[in-house]
Amino acid sequence: MVTLKDIAKLAHVNESTVSRALNGSVYVHPDTKKKVFEAAKKLSYDPDLLRKAIQQGKTKTIGIIIPNLQYNIFMDFVQKAEINANAVNYKIIIAISNDDSQQERKLLMRMRNGLVDGIVITSTGGNNHLLEDIQAGGMPVMQIFRNVDSKIDSVSVNYKQSVEIAVDNLLESGATNLALINGSITDQPYQDKLAAFEKVMNKQSKEIIAESLNEYPKSFEQAGYDLTAKILKRYPKVNGLLVANDTEALGAMHFLKEQKLDVPNQVKVISLAGCSVSSLYQTQVSNTAFPIESISMRALSLLISRIEKLEKLPLQHQVLNTAFNKRQTC
């Protein structure tokens, strides 16, 4: 957060003058007061909010940086986070990184110098040094869904377990030739899913059939459609699909419908990242559902505990299991 010293430096006055100006003291010359307020504005802050933050010591606000708010787990998390934050008189600010490290860096810098007390982030992994620096400066940071920095608290998902559950259910339901439609291989969770799939297939003495994206897609739905087409063209005997997330699964289902392939009789489909929106699809996709409520509660509770300095806890890396939802596609 910006300090009195930052504003004083920009306004070419001392810190005590900044403090008196922001508090409306009549002992500050109008021209000087104007300079102070202009400096605060130039630093992108509302002087009134800044004054309250200085007086109270905390803003009771948490910044959340996520890749997107499309129909997926991030949307679900934000909804739960807002409810859980409001329950303890905290507010949240949402920022979208588009999974771009440069955009993420800009957002982190704004939050670092802005009116938030802590940051929750699904990190790209490209700004670890900055995250550590922010935390070292006294602003707690919490990673969600991706644990890309071992020095920062995290609450993530057991992606290996989600793949194992999906494979077991596909095999038990009669699928014999399985394939993985993955997300961006630059993303840690998708790396984990691919590694888990390869390990399970080797254990089952089955061929490893998988397609991953090389970068974060503009549309997961289109990516699911395209990767399904690619796999079935090369491996027409595939009759069980593990799909990285619900939105990609929707694209896969569109392709299967176009090809007049019956789901689940000819091809069975399981999403590896179930979210609430999937229950609204015309054909409800079986999935390994993420424990969003628990992720939100644990992440916010630990972050706020660190903000409020309620108790001194060791570094936390919590990994939560998924649960299988059997629906219409498996």
CATH code linked to domain 159-289: 3.40.50.2300
With the CA atoms of 172, 177, 182 and 185 taken in that order, what torsion angle do they form, in degrees rounded to the nearest 10? 120
CB neighbour list of residue 172: distance below 8 Å, 6 or more residues apart = none
Name the 3-class secondary structure at 36.
Answer: helix
Which architecture characterizes domain 61-156+292-322 according to CATH?
A: 3-Layer(aba) Sandwich (3.40)
CB proximity list for 83: less than 8 A, separation 6 or greater: none
Distance, C-alpha 215 to centroid of its chain: 16
- Please, how many CA atoms are within 13 Å of residue 24, restricted to the half-sphere of its CB? 4
185-189 long-range CB contacts below 8 Å, 24 or more apart? 185/212, 185/213, 185/214, 186/214, 186/215, 186/216, 187/99, 187/146, 187/216, 188/125, 188/146, 188/147, 188/148, 189/145, 189/146, 189/156, 189/157, 189/159
pTM for this model (two decimals): 0.81
Q: Which CATH number fits domain 4-56: 3.20.20.210, 3.40.630.10, 3.40.50.1000, 1.10.260.40?
A: 1.10.260.40
Q: What gap in Å lies between CA 74 and CA 91, rounded to an integer? A: 17
Per-residue pLDDT of the chain (330 residues; tens, 9 = 90+): 566 777 888 889 887 787 777 767 767 888 888 888 888 878 765 555 555 554 455 778 999 999 988 768 999 999 999 999 999 889 999 999 999 999 999 999 999 876 799 999 999 999 999 999 999 989 999 999 999 999 999 999 999 999 999 999 999 999 999 999 999 999 999 999 999 999 999 999 999 999 999 988 888 999 999 999 999 999 999 999 999 999 999 999 999 999 999 999 999 999 999 887 766 667 899 999 999 999 999 999 999 999 988 878 899 999 999 999 999 999
Tell me the domain boundaries of the chain.
4-56, 61-156+292-322, 159-289
Distances in Å between the alpha carbon of 325 and those of 103, 242, 266, 274, 314? 35, 14, 20, 8, 34
Q: Which residues of 188-198 are buried (b: 16+ CB within 10 A; e: fewer)?
A: bbbbbbbebbe
For residue 204, the one-letter residue type is Q
